[in-house]
Amino acid sequence: MTRYLVLLKRRPQLDPAVVPLHRQFLDELRAQGRCEMNGPFGDKSGGAYLLRAESAAEAQVIVQRDPAYTSGGWDITVHEWLVD
């Protein structure tokens, strides 16, 4: 599987009630072996997770299920990450 770096930047309209749902989503990905690591930025502006997927298209489908995405509270970008 290929690794994808998912970057999330908080928007002003972020609903704090979505954060636990987003964390639960990441826990589920980790249980499936899809999320290698995740965490917030130190300045509280957002966070990132390292996703494993078969393709960029699959990575996008997975990210679009994330409550962070569906709530509209974050700007999210997905980058294929070529880790040595």
Banded model confidence at residue 25, pLDDT cuts 50, 70, 90: very high
**CATH numeric code, 2-80:** 3.30.70.1060
Q: Please, are residues 44 and 8 in contact by the beta-carbon 8 Å criterion? A: no
Banded model confidence at residue 83, pLDDT cuts 50, 70, 90: confident
Q: What is the pTM of this model?
A: 0.94
Residue type at 44 in one-letter notation: K
Residue 59, number of CB atoms within 10 A of its CB: 23
Question: How high is the mean pLDDT of the chain?
Answer: 96
For residue 50, what is the enclosing H or E element?
A: strand 46-53
pLDDT at 84: 75
Instruction: Give 34-68 pLDDT, tens digit per residue.
Output: 999 999 999 999 999 999 999 999 999 999 999 99
> What separation in angstroms does the CA of 44 have from each of 11, 39, 40?
11, 10, 7
